[in-house]
Chains A and B, each alone.
Chain A
Amino acid sequence: MRRSFIGENPSVLWFLLALSLFTLGVTVLSEVTGVALISTSFVKTLGKTLCLCLIAVAMDVVWGYCGILSLGHFAFFGLGGYAIGMWLMYARTEAIVLESLAGQPLPPTPQEVSDAIGNQIFGVVGSSEFPLIWAFADNLYLQLLMVVLIPGLLALVFGWLAFRSRVTGVYLSILTQAMTLALSLYLFQNDSGLRGNNGLSGLQNIPGYEDTSQAVISIVFFWASAFALGAGYLFFAWVVSGKMGSVIKGIRDNEARVRFLGYHVESYKLFVFTITAVVSAIAGALYYPQAGIINPGEIAPIASIYLAVWVAIGGRGRLYGAVIGAAFVSLLSSWFTGGGAPPLNLGFYTIQWTDWWLVLLGLSFVAVTLFFPKGIGGLFDYLVRKPE
C-alpha cells in the first residue's frame, strides 16, 4: 500500500529527499556546528519560510484541489501562533516573577504570583486580570491542544454555515476575508484579552531553556518546521492521491455533477476546509516562536491574499508548486523589502525596491495568471512527460 503510494507519486519522494538535504545543509552551515556561514537570524528566516510553505501546501489543497478560494487561512495560522504564544509568554513571565519574588522574607501566595504575572502581561493594556481565554495558558499540553482545537472549531463552524448555505466562488472568498478582518479587528481591541495591538512578544525565549543559545533554539525550530512540512506534505499528498483526491478535484471542476453522483459535497468541503485550517494553525504555532512576536496585524486580510498569490505563482493543483511559490516569493519579498536589492537607477528616476516591490509582485501575479496559469511548478511538466 505504502510502496504503491510512493510508486504512483514519485514527486513525494523527490520532495522529501530535497527537504532532508536542505535541512542537513542548513544545519551544517549554521552557527551550531561552528561553520557559521548561515547566521542564526537567517536560520530563523529559513525556518519561518518552511512554515509558510506548509500553510501554502494547505492552501493549495483547499484552493488548487478543492476549488475553494479561501482568503482567510492566515486567520488560522495566526490563531495557532496566538495559542502557543500564550503559553510561551505566561511560562516565561511566571519564571521571571517567581525569581523576583524569591528574595522576599515571606513566600508569595499563589494569588500574589498570579497577580504579578497578570500585571506583567496585561499592564500594557491597563489591566491585570487574567481573561477567561488564558485559563489553560499555564499548561503547555493543554495549550498545544488549543493550537489545533480553536482554529479547527472556528473553521468547522464557519465552514458549516458557509457551505450549508451553498456560498461559493467569489462570495465565499469575500466571506473568508470578512472573517479574518473581523478577527483581526477584534484582536486589535485592548480588552480582547490578547494585549490588543501589542500582541504577544518575547516568543523566541523558550521557558525552561533560558541558558540555551538562540543558535541552538533556532536550529531546533528549523528542524521542527522541516519535519512539519515533510509530514504535512506526505499527509496531503496521500489525501489528494486516492479517491478522495478524485472527489475533491471533481468538486472543483463540477460541483453539481459530484452531488448527483451521490456525494454530499458540503461534507467534503467542510472536511477539506477544516483539515487545512488545522494544518495552517500548526504552521503558525511553529512560525511565531521563530518570529518572536505576533500581533493582530499578522492576520490582516492582506496576509491571506499573499498566500493565494504564492500558490498561484508556484502553481495550483500540485503540492510542490505551492512550496516553491511560498519559498520563492516570501524569500524574494524579504530580499526586496529588507533593502537587499540594490536600487535601480533609471536616470530620471531611481526605483527603491522597498516601495516598488509590491508593484513588481502585483505585475508578476498578473503575468503568471495570464501567461503561465500553471505557475513555476508547471515548468516541471517540460522535464517529466506525463501519460496522456
Chain B
Amino acid sequence: MSTLLEVSGVSVSFDGFRAINNLSIQFAEAELRAIIGPNGAGKTTFMDIVTGKTKPDEGRVTWGERNVSLLGMSESQIANEGIGRKFQKPTVFEDQTVRQNLAMALKNPRGPFAVLTHKKTKRNAERIEATADQIGLLDSLMRVAGNLSHGQKQWLEIGMLLAQEPRLLLVDEPAAGMTSEEREKTTDILREAAQTRAVVVVEHDMEFVRRLDCKVTVLHEGSVLAEGSLDHVTANQRVIDVYLGRGHA
C-alpha cells in the first residue's frame, strides 16, 4: 500500500509551549488508525496542522501520490484535496434539514457562482440518499438537524464527511457522549468507511479503540511514543508510565 499522508519532523510551539515536537507519522491508503494519548499530547494540534488550521514552525506534510505539500494551502483547498475533518463536538448546521446538510457537503464545485446556479439533480439526490442510508438517517432526510439526537448528529457529521468523498477522514472523539448501542453503530460506520479510504480516529476511550480493532499510535508530548496493535502498545512500559502519570520527572 502506498503512503497517502506523510507528516515528518513537524514541530509547533504556542507561546513557548511545544505542542508538537518533531512529530513523524504516516498513513496508508485505506487503513483504519486510532490515535490515543493523554490530554495535551497534541492530538488536536496534529489535526489542526493536517487540515491547515495551524501552520507548523518546521517540518513537512506531504499528500498523495505526487507528494504535494499541504503547508501552503488554505483549509478549503486541503478539504478539496480530499481530507475531511470531524470535530469533537458534533457540528452540523442545526437549522437546516438533514438533506440540506448533506447536499452542502456533497462533492460538487465549491465556487460561489457554481453554488449560486446549482440545480438539484436526480444524481445528487441519489448520492444524498445513499449517504443517508449509510449513516442510518434515510428516514430523517426532511428533519431539521437541530432536532436530531446527539448520536444522530454525530452520524450526520460523519455522513457529511463521507459525502465529501475524502481520501482521508480525520475523526475527533466520535464516541464521546454516546450510548453503547450508538457506539457500536459508529464503529460499524467507521470500519466500513475505512474499506475505501484512510480513517484516522482520535480517541480517549480505550474500550472504543479496542472495538475499532486497528493499528494504534500513542502520542505523548507532541511526538509518537509507540505504535502497533492495541495489545502491543498497552504492554509498552513507557505507555503505561505516561497513562498512569509516572513518566514525568
Which of B31-39, B114-122, B195-203, B209-217 participates in binding chain A?
B114-122
How near does chain B come to A241, taking the closest CB pair, in angstroms? 11
Cα separation A268 to B112 with both chains bound (whole Å): 6
Chain B residues within 8 Å of A265, by CB: 76
Chain B residues within 8 Å of A258, by CB: 104
Given A239-B116, A242-B116, A388-B147, also A259-B76 (CB < 8 A) = yes
Contact with B along A58-85 (1 / 0, CB 8 A): 0000000000000000000000000000
Chain A residues within 8 Å of B87, by CB: 256-257
Cα separation A275 to B36 with both chains bound (whole Å): 47
Counting CB contacts under 8 A, is A3 at the interface? no
Which of B94-102, B180-188, B228-236 participates in binding chain A?
B94-102
Count, A-B residue pairs, CB within 8 A? 76
The residue of chain A having its C-beta at the shortest distance from the C-beta of B108 within the complex is: A243
Given A250-B104, A253-B93, A254-B91, also A259-B143 (CB < 8 A) = no
Cα separation A319 to B135 with both chains bound (whole Å): 35
Inter-chain contact A243/B84, CB cutoff 8 Å: no
Counting CB contacts under 8 A, is A262 at the interface? yes
Cα separation A247 to B111 with both chains bound (whole Å): 11
Chain A residues within 8 Å of B77, by CB: 264
Counting CB contacts under 8 A, is A261 at the interface? yes
Inter-chain contact B75/A260, CB cutoff 8 Å: yes
Chain B residues within 8 Å of A239, by CB: 116
Counting CB contacts under 8 A, is B164 at the interface? yes
B: number of interface residues (CB 8 Å):
34
How near does chain A come to B124, taking the closest CB pair, in angstroms? 10
Cα separation A249 to B146 with both chains bound (whole Å): 14
Residue from B79, B94, B160 within 8 A of A259 (CB atoms)? B79
How near does chain A come to B95, taking the closest CB pair, in angstroms? 7
Residue from A1, A246, A387 within 8 A of B103 (CB atoms)? A246
The residue of chain B having its C-beta at the shortest distance from the C-beta of A257 within the complex is: B91
Chain A residues within 8 Å of B100, by CB: 246
Counting CB contacts under 8 A, is B11 at the interface? no
Inter-chain contact A262/B79, CB cutoff 8 Å: yes
The residue of chain A having its C-beta at the shortest distance from the C-beta of B92 within the complex is: A257
The residue of chain B having its C-beta at the shortest distance from the C-beta of A268 within the complex is: B112
Cα separation A257 to B104 with both chains bound (whole Å): 11
Counting CB contacts under 8 A, is A178 at the interface? no
Inter-chain contact A260/B84, CB cutoff 8 Å: yes
Inter-chain contact A267/B93, CB cutoff 8 Å: no
Inter-chain contact A271/B112, CB cutoff 8 Å: yes
Chain B residues within 8 Å of A244, by CB: 112, 115-116, 118
Cα separation A246 to B99 with both chains bound (whole Å): 11
Counting CB contacts under 8 A, is B110 at the interface? yes
Inter-chain contact B160/A261, CB cutoff 8 Å: yes
The residue of chain B having its C-beta at the shortest distance from the C-beta of A260 within the complex is: B85
Inter-chain contact A257/B93, CB cutoff 8 Å: yes
The residue of chain A having its C-beta at the shortest distance from the C-beta of B114 within the complex is: A243
Cα separation A263 to B91 with both chains bound (whole Å): 16
Chain A residues within 8 Å of B53, by CB: 256
Residue from A246, A256, A388 within 8 A of B104 (CB atoms)? A246
Given A244-B115, A246-B100, also A388-B79 (CB < 8 A) = no
Q: A243-B104, A254-B93, A257-B92 are in contact. List 7 more A-B contacts (CB 8 A).
A: A243-B115, A246-B104, A247-B115, A256-B53, A257-B91, A262-B80, A268-B112
- Can you show 13 pairs from A to B with CB atoms below 8 A apart? A1-B119, A243-B118, A244-B112, A246-B96, A256-B75, A259-B75, A259-B79, A260-B76, A261-B164, A262-B164, A264-B77, A265-B76, A271-B112
